[in-house]
Amino acid sequence: MFNLNGKKGLVVGIANNKSIAYGCAKAFNICGAELAVTYLNEKAEPHVRPLADLLAAPLVLPLDVEKDDQLEAVFAAIQEKWGKLDFLLHSIAFAPQQDLHGRVVDCSREGFLRAIDISCHSFIRMAKLAEPLMSDGGALLTMSYLGADEVVDNYGMMGPVKAALQASTRYLATELGPKGIRVHAISPGPLATRAASGIAHFDDLMKDAVERAPLHRLVSIDDVGALAAYLCSDVAKTLTGGTIYIDGGYNIVG
């Protein structure tokens, strides 16, 4: 695929072997990168640690971005272990069910702020902590969805949240570009992941994507992983600030 030999990366968001983050981690590993992997909490650890072992990850760390100092502890461990970081993948998002399943106009202040904090501001925080570890440049990746650009049925409050994430990506790319740090949002088509299961009628979204996308197929976590590996490689050293769609062309269909 792409040469990531000697590169060190942080992967945030693996929940199980169907996670987009795991598809990306597999690609990074195949390409020669050494990885730090996080898990949400003690309940999640038994599902994540065996996957981290398959990836030969030397750092497997707890990370709940809502808990004080956990994110800082992850970057401190990376500093101690490697003294640098070449890329990171942010693949986490959350919205309370009662807010996600209702109308955007009805969402609570508390639910919206929590969704923004976990799904968007955590990426900004990671960028800030990664910056001093990327003295030789690097790549920061996050995951978005088409609902950030247009109204998608049942995506609800996550649409505005992901739109904020994509806008943040552009600003981070501009601010960090002079240091050789590239920033991208990847926007996959609908995938049957644990996170997606929280969206109402998600099966209908997948069916519609197959029917209407020019390639008439769904993407896989391995497809997304290949793209992520490319973006973290030196081959993509002149690309930054984009939202890159990997959805069989669905995003171009009106």
User: How far, in whole angstroms, is CA 111 from its chain's centroid?
Assistant: 21
Half-sphere exposure of residue 108: CA atoms within 13 angstroms, side-chain side? 9
Is 153:201 a contact under the CB 8 Å cutoff? yes
Distance CA 1, CA 115 (A): 35
Q: Specify the length of the chain in residues.
A: 254
Active site residue ranges: 145, 155
Q: Which residues contact 148 (CB under 8 A, 6 or more apart)?
A: 159, 162, 163, 165, 166, 187, 243
Q: Token digits for 115?
A: 């969704």
